[in-house]
Amino acid sequence: MRKILIALGMASMVFATSACNTVRGMGQDLESVANDADKAI
C-alpha cells in the first residue's frame, strides 16, 4: 500500500511540475510516470 501511495505522489509531482503543451509531450510524460511507477513497485 505504501509503495502505491509513493508512486501516486511521484506521479502527482511530475504532472504538477511538467508543462505538457502538446499531446505528444503529455504521452511522453504519462509513459515516464508509468515507467517510474513500475520501478517503484
2-15: average pLDDT: 81
Q: Which residue has the higher pLDDT, 21 or 28?
A: 28
- What pTM value is reported for the model? 0.42
21-39: average pLDDT: 76
Residue 4's pLDDT is what?
Answer: 84
Flag whether pLDDT at 21 surpasses 60.
no
Q: Which residue has the higher pLDDT, 25 or 23?
A: 25
Q: Which domain holds residue 15?
A: 2-40
Flag whether pLDDT at 17 surpasses 70.
no
Q: How far is CA 34 from CA 10, 25, 31, 38, in A?
A: 10, 14, 5, 6
Q: How many domains does the chain have?
A: 1
